[in-house]
Amino acid sequence: MKLYVYGCVLLLASLALWACSDRSPLELLDTARLEEQQHNPEHAAALYREIISRFPDSDAAKTAAARLAAMAPNP
């Protein structure tokens, strides 16, 4: 059962990322922030990484990198 749930979560996350692929960096950033507020850090982190990868020189990439660093567990 756990494997099924995990697979569904991965599928939904993949579909969400695919649906966001043509969006601007600010739209992606807004979506990532919303995902954080909805307690979905895995999807938020994936969106932040997408912003950094696709728009490396943007202000949104700087913000995304800062959010990823803030989300990282403290040792």
Per-residue pLDDT of 12-29, as tens digits, reads: 776 665 655 578 999 999
pTM: 0.70
Contacts by 16-22 with C-beta closer than 8 Å and gap 24+?
16/43, 17/43, 17/46, 17/47, 17/50, 20/47, 20/50, 21/50
Per-residue b or e along 45-63, where b marks 16 or more CB atoms closer than 10 Å to that residue's CB: bbbbebbbeebeebebbeb
Biggest distance spanned by C-alpha atoms of the chain: 43
- What tens digit of pLDDT does each residue of 17-61 get? 565 557 899 999 999 999 999 999 999 999 999 999 999 999 999
